[in-house]
Amino acid sequence: MTPDVRFELLWPEFLVAGLAFLVFTLDFFVRPARKEVLAWVSAAGLAVIIAFTVPFLLNEHDSLFDGLYRVDSYALFFKVLSMGIGIAVILGSLHFVDRRLTHPGEYYAIIIVSVLAMMMMAASGELLTAYLSLELLSFCLYILSGFALQDRRSNEASVKYVLLGAFSSGLLLYGIVLLYGALGTTHFAGMAAALEGTGGVDGRLLVGLALVVAGLGFKLAAVPFHMWAPDVYQGAPMPITAYIAVGSKAAAFALALRLFYEALAPAYDEWQLLIAGMAALTMIFGNVVAIVQTNVKRMLAYSSVGQVGFLLMGIAALSPLASNALMVHLVGYSVTNFAVFFAITAFYNATGKDDIPDFAGLAGRAPFLAAAITVGLFSLAGLPFLAGFVTKFYLFSAAAAEGLLWLAGVAMVASLISLYYYLQLIRQMYIERAPEDEGGSVTVATPGVLAAVIGAMALGTVLLGVYPEPVLATIREATAALLDTGSAWPTLGSAGQ
């Protein structure tokens, strides 16, 4: 029925899946004391697959199964990003797993599977495939967030995550089905064509769209669908928090961007304001509530809720420029958040504490960690020489170029608010003195690998802030792919003007 499917284009996916099975299997043969071998195998495996994938899929542009599965530079970009995120998380959690978790084999394997899920989310050109990939990712994260088996909070996190996740997937699926009913297909290209064709707007379409937005909003942690996020972030094991904050979000945005671009662009007028409003609400809510937090993970959770608001601007603006901006912000956000989260992980590894006052005097106890956290937080706040400055500038310019200046204004105010609570943490680290008792004077040692990951991420944050052009060039390629397939949207770039 489907002639000439170029199955070979799925090699990267197969390889990743194979790597996951390899790690599962290896787990049986590795002595408990040497489980870190698994991490190295996983990371190295992913690295090799990246090295293979990039030349292999470069300049490939194909739609498998009638557009159900895409092989293009947009997908390639996110594949590489996903695998990169995977490597970072695996290496970053090495010591954490060693000290605080059981089942390392499964841990790494599940991460690899989730990387696969992320890769497929970006490549999906059809709603059901997208949903299944998303569900696969969610399953992995449900497990991972409850991975600290003896930790009440970890369990609480996974309960909340899985129940609300199931609920949201109910909403999402109902929405998908309604869209299917209204448009007769679940393929993005077909949906776009059908949308162009229909004169009036069907009620099912709108309700379906609302449900899809709710379901995706849950995944993105956009207000008011974000409420799981702070609890899960706080409860999940530290590296997994980073992973959820970065990986899951990146994949969800990859999916959302493609969905809105390729499938829903013709109904732009219907949903633009909705997304913009959601973006505004998200950035304000996330940042305002973050102010009053006392737990670092929780504060960062709200901060990343706020960041989602910024990212949503990229969708609300929906132009090539905005897509570039969204993607570059996503990259910057990933690198930056990793720097912060892993530095906090290192701190937590050494001290077992994660409340903001616990960081008092960290600049003296662990200058490197303090510097990394500062770099990261300043970048998140959008201060210059760091990724956040450039990417936010880009994003806000793009939004303004599409007539969403008000939203850009709200975003800037929100970043100002964010600066306040970031400074609270920085103040603890640099201005306050370490408590004399409770081992406050103990220096915080960071293991080499973790230090390397943190260093790399901090360096990335700086490099992206100083000279983003190379990354942007790549992203422009990727967006171009999106534009090619999203041919149903001929007036892109002038929308909103």
Partner 1 sequence: MSSMEGALLFALIAVPFFGALVMVFFPADKHSLIHWYTRAIAFVGLVLAVYLFVTYDTDGDLGKYTVDFAWLPTLGIRYTLGLSGITTPLVLLNAIIFMAGVLVSWNVTHRPKDFFIWLTLLVSGVYGVFLATDLFFLFFFYELAVVPMYLLIGVWGSSTDFTKMEPAEGPGFGGGGKFDRPKEYGAMKLMLYLVAGSVLVWIAIVAVWAEARSATGEASFAIASLAAVEYSREFQVIFYPFFMIGFGVLAGLWPFHTWSPDGHVAAPTAVSMLHAGVLMKLGAFGILAVGMVVLPEGAEAWAPVLIGLGTVNVLYGAVSALGQRDLKYVIGYSSVSHMGYVLMGLGTLEVIGLNGAVFQMFSHGIMTGLFFAMVGIIYERTHLRDITVLEGLGKRMGVVGAFLAAAGLTSLGLPGFSSFVAELLVFIGTFRTYPLLGVLAVIGAAITAVYILRLMAKVFFGPISDRWADLEDAKPLEAAVGAALVAVLLLWGLYPFRIVEIIDSGVKPLLEGMGIA
Partner 2 sequence: MMELAWLIPSLPAIAFAFMVTLGKRLPNWSAIAATGSIAVSFALFFFVFADWLGAKSFPHPENYTFVYSIDWLRAGDAILTWGMWIDPISLTMLGLVTAAALGIQVYSWSYMAHEPRFTWFFAVHSLFAASMLALVMADNLLLLYIAWELVGICSYLLIGFFYDRRSAAEAAKKAFITTRVGDVGLLIGILLLFVETGTFELSTIFAALAAGDLSEGIVTGAAVLMLLGAIGKSAQFPFHVWLPDAMEGPTPVSALVHSATMVVAGVYLVARIFPFFEASDTASLVLLSLGAVTAMGAAAMALVMTDIKRVLAYSTLTDLAFMMLALGAGSVTAGMFHLLLHGFAKATLFLGAGSVSHGSDKTDIRDMGGLRRVMPWTALAFGIGALSLGGLPPFGGFFSKDEVTLAVFLIEEPYRWIFLTVALTVGFMKALYMGRLFFSVFLGRLKPENEHAHEAGPAMLAPMLVFTTLGAVGGLLAFNWTDGYQGFGYFVFAGDHQEAFHPNWWIAAASAALAVAGFGITWLAYVTGSLRTDSIIAKVRPVHTLVANKFYVDEVYQWGIDQVMLRAGNAVAWVDRAFVNDIGVNGPGIVTEKSGTKLRLLQSGKIYNYALGMVLGFLAVAVAWWWAL
Partner 3 sequence: MELYHVELLSAALFALGVYGVLARRNAIMILMAVELMLNAVTINAVAYAAFLDPGRLVGQVITVFVITVAAAEVGLAMAIILRLYRVRATANVDEADTMRG
Catalog residues that contact partner 3 under the rule CB under 8 A.
128, 131-132, 135, 139, 142-143, 146, 149-150, 152-153, 155-160, 162-163, 166-167, 169-171, 173-174, 176-178, 180-181, 184-186, 230-231, 234-235, 292-293, 298
Q: Choose which of 48, 51, 149, 291 interacts with partner 2 (CB under 8 A).
A: 291
Residues 464-480: b if buried by 16+ CB within 10 A, e if exposed: bbeebeebbebbbbbbb
Based on the shown chain and the rule CB under 8 A, indicate whether residue 177 belongs to the binding site for partner 2. Answer: no
Half-sphere exposure of 431 (CA within 13 A, CB side): 6
Based on the shown chain and the rule CB under 8 A, indicate whether residue 74 belongs to the binding site for partner 2. Answer: no
Diameter over CA atoms, the chain: 73
384 binds, among partner 3, partner 1, partner 2, none (CB under 5 to 8 A by kind): partner 1
Residues in contact with partner 2, shown as a per-residue x/- string from 217 to 236 under the rule CB under 8 A: xx----xxx-xx-xx-----
How long a stretch of residues is the chain? 497
> What are the tokens at 230?
């702070």
Considering the complex, what minimum distance in angstroms separates the CB of residue 357 from partner 2? 17
**Rounded-to-5 percentages of helix, strand, coil across the chain:** 80, 0, 20
Considering the complex, what minimum distance in angstroms separates the CB of residue 333 from partner 3? 24
Considering the complex, what minimum distance in angstroms separates the CB of residue 273 from partner 1? 18
Based on the shown chain and the rule CB under 8 A, indicate whether residue 423 belongs to the binding site for partner 2. Answer: no
Considering the complex, what minimum distance in angstroms separates the CB of residue 140 from partner 1? 35
Tell me whether residue 203 or residue 403 sits nearer to partner 2 (CB atom).
203
Q: Which one, of 102, 21, 11, 105, lies nearest residue 55 by Cα?
A: 11
Based on the shown chain and the rule CB under 8 A, indicate whether residue 310 belongs to the binding site for partner 2. Answer: no
Based on the shown chain and the rule CB under 8 A, indicate whether residue 474 belongs to the binding site for partner 1. Answer: no
Considering the complex, what minimum distance in angstroms separates the CB of residue 312 from partner 2? 14
Based on the shown chain and the rule CB under 8 A, indicate whether residue 417 belongs to the binding site for partner 2. Answer: yes
Based on the shown chain and the rule CB under 8 A, indicate whether residue 206 belongs to the binding site for partner 2. Answer: yes
Based on the shown chain and the rule CB under 8 A, indicate whether residue 210 belongs to the binding site for partner 2. Answer: yes
> What are the tokens at 225?
């669908």
Residue 189 CB contacts under 8 Å (≥ 6 apart), including other chains = 67, 125, 262, 263, 485, 488
Residue with tokens 């500062």: 374
Distance (Å, rounded) from C-alpha 435 to C-alpha 452? 28
Based on the shown chain and the rule CB under 8 A, indicate whether residue 420 belongs to the binding site for partner 2. Answer: yes
Distance (Å, rounded) from C-alpha 109 to C-alpha 38? 9
Distance (Å, rounded) from C-alpha 326 to C-alpha 332? 10
Distance (Å, rounded) from C-alpha 373 to C-alpha 338? 10
Residues 109-130: b if buried by 16+ CB within 10 A, e if exposed: bbbbbbbbbbbbbbbbbbbebb
Tell me whether residue 133 or residue 418 sits nearer to partner 2 (CB atom).
418
Task: Enumerate residues 384-403 that contact partner 1 by CB under 8 A.
Answer: 384-385, 389-390, 393-394, 396-397, 400-401
Distance (Å, rounded) from C-alpha 16 to C-alpha 459? 27
Q: Which one, of 384, 377, 312, lies nearest residue 339 by Cα?
A: 377
Q: Which one, of 292, 466, 276, lies nearest residue 379 by Cα?
A: 466
Q: Does residue 224 sit in helix, strand or coil?
A: coil
383 within 8 A of 451, measured Cβ to Cβ: no
Q: Choose which of 40, 167, 180, 385 interacts with partner 2 (CB under 8 A).
A: 167
Considering the complex, what minimum distance in angstroms separates the CB of residue 408 from partner 1? 6
497 binds, among partner 3, partner 1, partner 2, none (CB under 5 to 8 A by kind): partner 1
Interface ranges with partner 1 (CB under 8 A)? 321, 324, 378, 383-385, 389-390, 393-394, 396-397, 400-401, 405, 408-409, 412-413, 415-416, 419-420, 423, 426-427, 430-431, 467-469, 472, 476, 497
Q: Catalog residues that contact partner 2 under the rule CB under 8 A.
A: 159-160, 163-164, 167-168, 171, 201, 206-207, 210-211, 213-214, 217-218, 223-225, 227-228, 230-231, 270, 274, 285, 288-293, 417, 420
